[in-house]
Amino acid sequence: MLFEMVGQNYFEIVLRDGDGSAYYGDWLAGSQPVEVTDEIINGFRVIFTGQGDEKVRHEYEPGSGYGPIYGTSAIPLASAKRMLNRKAS
């Protein structure tokens, strides 16, 4: 499930494991449109979000959840700050 944080340029994501239990999947930087692809990385689909005329690629990382991939596109400043805070913790 994706929850769009209106006016914040990101989405919160909730995932389900093999037995159907829900858990926090982290966040996706960007805005609409959201594209869930058939490409699988670390057992989860790659997701793209919009950012102006660009797309931001998000991959799942075990232990930390989804996040934007550095160097794939321009991302909003607020999202970059969230990424730096996550790396520091």
* Tally of domains within the chain: 1
Tens-binned pLDDT, residue by residue, of the chain (89 aa): 888 888 888 889 998 888 889 988 888 888 888 999 999 999 999 999 887 788 888 999 888 888 888 665 555 555 566 656 655 55
* 54-61 and 10-16 strand pairing: unpaired
Question: Quick one: how far is CA 66 from the chain centroid?
Answer: 5
Domain range for 75 is: 2-88
Q: Please, what is the Cα angle at 37 between 24 and 78, to 5 degrees?
A: 50
Beta bridge partners of 12: 3, 27
Pairwise CA distance, residues 42 & 33, whole Å:
23
